[in-house]
Chain A
Amino acid sequence: MSLIINALTSNAAADFVQNSTAQVLSEGCLKAIGRPTFTLLDKSAEENERKYSATKEFLYQSLSMAAYFAIIFPFKKISYKFLKYFKPIKDLDVVKAKNKAEFDELFKNMPEGILKTKVKGANEVISILASGVILAMITPQIVNKIIHPIMKKLGIEKRKTLDRKV
């Protein structure tokens, strides 16, 4: 019990869960396990429907994590460039930084207060939007392209064509 309380109240746990990358990755990994499992358990659909949906779900969640790792970290190096599009902070010096190192330095030296909070918030909004584009727009299209070869390899689509012939 004391271990649980210590973990729930610790600074390290709070810092970890504050990071949107950590949030997306931990949630995504759990979804890759939970959703396909429950899809296969759904008795309201036929077997081939369930198998297609579960395979798609599993591929989507696994690929999302890979795409996220591959894109979001390089993106974070240039994300500061988009801060100028946020009206409430566009005139700040930190937003006019010429490179990531300069931005980090200026942000670090900003006095704690509402302006620093807004810059942090804008950074998180950019990160959420980028995640949305990667996870909801790019990844599903890639999954569409690779799902059928994989399903054929697993024998799921082959069985479907045999069923049709019968």
Chain B
Amino acid sequence: MIDVKGLKKSFGNHDVLKGIDEHIYKGEKVVVIGPSGSGKSTFLRCLNLLEEPTEGTITFEGNDITAPKADIDAIRRKMGMVFQQFNLFPHLSVKENIKLAPVKLGIMTNSEADAKAMELLKRVGLPDKADAFPKQLSGGQQQRIAIARALAMNPDVMLFDEPTSALDPEMVGEVLQLMKQLADEGMTMVVVTHEMGFAREVATRVLFMDDGVIAEQNEPKEFFANPKNQRLKEFLSKVL
């Protein structure tokens, strides 16, 4: 579904990604872990071109999205993204947050989007917050709305950039629960996170990034039980 070849990204003289080749298959739940500054967020953000790769190609559903002629807006409609800081639109109500993109892009009529928004709000367990504004909600609730907003575009893959890192500990659970539910429904997911429990439980594959490369990857059981890379061993001993 997503094919990454020779992906490199540098900011000025600082090389963040030093050559990544990876393939993400339909239905996979790939969890990316690694120390701060290892490039895992940059890798994720390159997948929907929020960061422009310095080198390499990314192919999504058969289209080279790094080609100069690629219609990146059309491609992004099929890739939902959830941010660490939620990034809800503070001037719009919860329902309007969800409806904005489908309506303004002419994909749904206002009433269709309305129905879709209510359905999604039920799915994320917040149907009574439709008319609230983002600031009136807790962090966990905001992140669940952000997930609903991304789902409104019916994406084929969901990208999560440390979705629980900005949350109070007691709110992490509700967001992970929702993500798990999403995974069970068969959504293809790429998740950058520090939640090892989530990786163990939900991932079909775990990637360990260190210093701009994927240093090790495996299915979760083997990954946590028998790490081979020295840096991964150190990393796991610190976080587990």
Tell me, yes or no, whether A binds B.
no
A residues with a Cβ closer than 8 A to B are none
